[in-house]
Amino acid sequence: MNLDISRFYWINKPKEFKIETNKIIIITEPGTDFWQRTYYGFRNDNAHAFMMSSEDNFTFTVLTQFNTKVMYDQCGVIVYQNSDNWFKASIEFENEKYQRLGSVVTNNGYSDWATTDISSGIKSMYYRLSRRGPDFLVENSEDGKNFKQMRVFHLFEGKREINFGVYACSPLESSFDAAFSEMQLSGCIWKEYVNPDCPEFLK
């Protein structure tokens, strides 16, 4: 089903944005990002995020479109519990040749970063985020039909109500328009895992 945008709320609300029927456009502000501690030594918790909350298992799908041109500009999907426990998946601009499709999982105040290089000519991407309790699956697709697994991950603070949605940011002195549309929310389509060694499975 399409999402009711009235259910959403802001974290680090941007000065400029547009809200249309099932579409959000965020104009990022310079010096914004989500990152905690690991390797680089800095901590940022001021990226723009537009989210809703749920206690249910679900699958959330969204199309992102963007005109990034400066290093580290990024937009995508997010799960944000607090500054020390969150997840994001996005395309992060690097240079005119390539950018990085990747994800960050932050547990107990430490972030990781998993990426793969893709062409800088790609300016749109679908993401599909599925939740089963504190465990999550994130996938991506260029056409909205054929999705590929990016990552399975666990959030230590993801057992009950979680906050999820979309985000955009510009860590350096830049700004760009990030558009989010075709948002859908459904029951979880990520099939529950059954252990083949379990006696119940062997019956």
Q: Average pLDDT per run of 10 along the chain, which is 203 residues long?
A: 82 96 94 89 91 97 97 98 97 97 96 96 98 98 97 95 98 97 96 72 41
pTM here is 0.92
Q: Is 118 exposed, middle or buried (0-12, 13-18, 19+ CB in 10 A)?
A: middle
Phi and psi dihedrals of 172, rounded to 5? -100, -165
pLDDT value, residue 70: 97
Sign of CA pseudo-dihedral 46, 43, 72, 123: negative
Domain covering 5-202, topology:
Jelly Rolls (2.60.120)
pLDDT value, residue 199: 55
**What residue spans define the domains of the chain?**
5-202
For residue 2, CA distances in Å to 49, 150, 186 come to 19, 24, 9
- Residue 11 and residue 76: Cα distance in Å, rounded? 15
pLDDT value, residue 201: 43
pLDDT value, residue 203: 40
Which residue in 107, 42, 62, 112 sits closest to 80, CA to CA?
107
pLDDT value, residue 40: 74
